[in-house]
Structures are given as C-alpha cells and as structure tokens.
Amino acid sequence: METETHPFEPWLPAHARLLMLGTFPPAPKRWCMPWYYPNFQNDMWRIFGYIFFGDKNHFVEPGQKTWRLDELKEFLAEKGIAIFDTALRIRRTKGTASDKDLEIVEQADLDGMLRKLPECQGVLTAGQLATQVFTSHYGVKLPKMGNYTEFNFEGRPMRLYRMPSSSRAYPMKVEDKAAYYKKMFDDLL
C-alpha cells in the first residue's frame, strides 16, 4: 500500500476562532477542486451556504459541479475559520476515502496548529476517526454528536465540538446537519 502525504497546506488565518479538522482528503480522482472537501458529493460547503446565506448552493460555481474556491477562502478568512485534518500521512486499505479504510501513518501536528491560532476557542471534528484522533491525543472526553466537551490547551480554555460528517455516506439531510453546525457557529463566531 502506498503512503500518501496530505496534499494541502493547513489553512490557518491568524485570527481564527475555530479550527475544523477532518481526517484526510479523498484521492485526487474524486476532486472537483484542489482544496478541502474537494469531492462535489461532500456536503460541507452546502452546510456553510445553507447556514450563512440560506442557500445550500451558494458556493457552487453556476452550471458546473465545482465550488467557487476564491469566494470560499475569502469567506473563511473573514469569519475566522481554520482548516486542516488530523492525519498528515495515511494508507488507504481499500482505495476509498472512508475513515474505516484509512490507516493513519502520521498524525498532523495538532499542537503546532493550535499554537499558530492564539484566538482559537473551538475545534470541530467532522467524522468519527478525526474525533478519535483528537480525543486520544488530548485525553479529552468524547462529546455526544452535536455537543462539545471543554478542555484546556496550554492553559487556554477550549471546546471540542463533534459534528455530523459532511459525507453523503452519513445518512442525514444537509438541512439537518446544518442545524448542528449552526449552534457551534453561534457559540464561536
């Protein structure tokens, strides 16, 4: 099995109040753009469009199956949302993007990211494996879906939010997923 290294640089706006962590991007053949949540079937950017603009297709490039990347980056920078993943290097045991088919070879530098985000007050883990990696690294109690657990990072009080996966494989409508995410955004942004 080939070891893959994360293809994207961490997106860490210095004033970010939220760090979003998934597990690892899908294989490039599944991408519609070269950035986070690149599979057009993934609902993350639909969740954002629905919450902040009342339109789940707000960030969709009209007439194309891709996202308006420049607008997304501008929006996330303005809102203070940082993004990376919990895995830096992985092996795909079955060639899929499913968490159950990923073997983490090397975790991302979670401490380093949080140190670069001095205003960060919350971490979102999207998906079971990302949540497991984060909770075991920090010894944090696993929050219930849609809730948070409080923890301290180098003396800074923080919250770990556990949200539904944005993958279509997670059986929940976009609008219902968005309801969970909105509570977190209302707390932090």
CATH number at residue 72: 3.40.470.10
CA distance 100 to 42: 17
- What tokens were used for 168? 């279509």
pLDDT number for residue 55 = 98
Lookup: tokens for 37: 């949540």
Model pLDDT, residue 125: 94
C-alpha to C-alpha distance for 143 and 37, rounded to whole angstroms: 23
For residues 145 and 165, what is the distance between their CA atoms, to the nearest angstrom? 10
**How does DSSP assign 86-98, residue by residue?**
SEEEEEESSSS--
89 beta partners? 5, 106
Mean pLDDT computed over every residue of the chain: 95
Q: What is the pLDDT of residues 66-118, one digit of tens each?
A: 999 999 999 999 999 999 999 999 999 987 778 888 999 999 999 999 999 99
Calpha distance 39→146 (Å, rounded): 23
Place of tokens 């891709």: 66
SS3 128: helix
Alpha-carbon dihedral sign for residues 86, 88, 90, 95: positive
97 touches 42 (CB < 8 A): no
Tell me which residue range forms the domain holding 96: 3-188
Q: How many structural domains compose the chain?
A: 1
Confidence label for 156 from pLDDT (cuts 50, 70 and 90): very high
pLDDT tens digits along 38-72: 999 999 999 999 999 999 999 999 999 999 999 99
pTM equals 0.95
